[in-house]
Amino acid sequence: MPSATLDLTLAVFLLVYVAMGFGTLPGFKVDRTGAAIVGSLALLVIGSITPKAAWDAIDYRTIWLLFGLMVVSAGFAVSGFYASTAQRVATLPVSPPVLLAVLIAVGGLLSCLLTNDVVVVAMTPLLVSVTLARGLNPVPFLLAFCFAANSGSAGTLIGSPQNMIVAQGLGLSFNGFLRVAGLPALLSLPLVWGVLAFMYRKRWALHAAPTAEAEAPDNVETAAPATVPAFDRWETLKAGVVAIGVVLAFVLSHWPRELIALAGAGVLLISRRTSSSDMLKHVDGNLLLLIMGLFVVNAAFAATGMPQTILEHMRNAGINLNDPLALFIVGGALSNIVGNNPAVMLLVPYLHPGAGGDALGAALALGTGFSSNMIIFGSLAGIIVVEQAKACGIKISFGEFARAGIPVMLASMLLAAGWILLMAHH
């Protein structure tokens, strides 16, 4: 590669990942997805990667898997299942700490079976409405649901986009992934509850009853009521049957996972009661474009030879990415710089799993999943919760998120590190 092209390639790569970290390209109205697309186009124009190589760099299996599972999860959104679940849980006649525990359990369970980002998108406005209706401060419940979604989703191959990328890149099975990541993900949920229950033990309620004139906490403005879709029992049953069928096929069959997910999506899109356009509104097209753009950007960067040089320097410094504990730490740190999906996409191509693929997969999934609770832009779920809460009149500042997120992250990471060390000795 000519030196001028090399310099431009590195400049474009760095600018793209600056946007991944800040959420936007400083000085421009270009978000993460826009940066990935513009960056990949720029690399094509300057000759860093050929059109064929760019097309080949996009892992269609990952894109198909993500799309299929997003449609399956959308089936629960349009059927009113998420809305019904949120209302039923949040109106339980229990104390705030018990309600917090129930929401954490629901968030963790839904997120390990369905794509966590879709679950968070569907549930956040509803949680705002029902907590305010009970006269409760929505912030601890929103934070707990977000943290539970990130932590719980780390336990299964289908829990989050980065898990799917890890599984596709390392060739992991559904059962193998669950065996090495499921238990620490489950054990992280009580840690989330413990931290949030302690931090908000004296701040559960609004200052007054939840009327139009109620005096809310400083971070709560007048909340707009969430639009609640009507619950459709038949469509929920259909979505449930398809979701169970998809998971069973993942566990019991040797069919390609992306084809299983697409088959499930196809079944749900054929309906006499629900428009396919309503279903597809819940598919995160921006995320799919983001991942496609990053596939191209990372491939162009790999062609420079720089990643191999960096890895050699890391090995000389005693950091081996194919050691699960080292990968766990590096992946966790990197995910809070560029986000969990970009971090995974940067690391996976340079891993050589062999017989230790399950351990590496667990290390990367747990590291990026648990560490992403530290700050708002550590995960897409964090960004979604804060932005959707803001649209409903609830302000969650960077400082408030981090004050709860840092102890949750530290406790979960220590738990996961102990688990990875235990696996290494067996």
Per residue in 359-371, pLDDT (tens digit) is 888 888 899 889 9
- Contacts (Cβ under 8 Å, ≥6 apart) of 398: 375, 376
Tell me what the mean pLDDT of segment 68-85 comes to. Answer: 83
Other C-beta atoms closer than 10 Å to the C-beta of 251 total 12
What is the pLDDT at residue 222?
Answer: 45
What is the pLDDT at residue 89?
Answer: 76
Tell me what the mean pLDDT of segment 149-155 comes to. Answer: 89
Other C-beta atoms closer than 10 Å to the C-beta of 60 total 12
What is the pLDDT at residue 265?
Answer: 92
What is the pLDDT at residue 406?
Answer: 93
Q: Letter for the amino acid at 189?
A: L
Mean pLDDT of the chain: 82
What is the pLDDT at residue 356?
Answer: 65
Closest alpha carbon to 132 in 402, 400, 389: 389
Higher pLDDT, 238 or 21: 238
Report the percent of the chain where pLDDT is more than 90: 21
What is the pLDDT at residue 355?
Answer: 57
Per-residue confidence band for 223, with pLDDT thresholds at 50, 70 and 90: very low
- Tell me: the pLDDT tens digits for 87-141? 787 778 888 899 999 989 988 998 888 777 778 877 788 888 888 888 888 999 9
Return phi, psi of residue 283, to 5°. Answer: -80, 130
Q: Which stretch of 147-156, 186-195, 228-237 has the lowest confidence by average pLDDT?
A: 228-237
Q: Is the Cβ–Cβ distance between 372 and 379 less than 8 Å?
A: yes
Per-residue confidence band for 148, with pLDDT thresholds at 50, 70 and 90: very high
167 pLDDT above the threshold of 50: yes
Closest alpha carbon to 327 in 367, 373, 378: 367
416 pLDDT above the threshold of 80: yes
Higher pLDDT, 387 or 364: 364
Structure tokens at 228: 């609640």
145 pLDDT above the threshold of 60: yes
What is the pLDDT at residue 212?
Answer: 35
Residue in this structure with the two tokens 């993460």, named with its chain if needed = 32
Per-residue confidence band for 219, with pLDDT thresholds at 50, 70 and 90: low
358 pLDDT above the threshold of 80: no
Q: Which long-range contacts (CB under 8 A, 24 or more apart) does 14-22 make?
A: 15/39, 16/293, 16/294, 16/297, 17/338, 17/342, 20/338, 20/339, 20/342, 21/337, 21/338, 21/339, 21/377, 22/377
Tell me what the mean pLDDT of segment 159-167 comes to. Answer: 82
Q: Which stretch of 82-91, 146-155, 246-255 has the lowest confidence by average pLDDT?
A: 82-91
What is the pLDDT at residue 190?
Answer: 95
31 pLDDT above the threshold of 90: no
What is the pLDDT at residue 228?
Answer: 59
What is the pLDDT at residue 55?
Answer: 92
CA–CA gap between residue 326 and residue 323 (Å, rounded): 5
Report the percent of the chain where pLDDT is more than 70: 91
413 pLDDT above the threshold of 90: yes
Higher pLDDT, 377 or 243: 243
Tell me what the mean pLDDT of segment 9-13 comes to. Answer: 89
What is the pLDDT at residue 225?
Answer: 46
What is the pLDDT at residue 314?
Answer: 76
Closest alpha carbon to 185 in 405, 383, 415: 415
What is the pLDDT at residue 207?
Answer: 60
Per-residue confidence band for 51, with pLDDT thresholds at 50, 70 and 90: very high
What is the pLDDT at residue 411?
Answer: 94
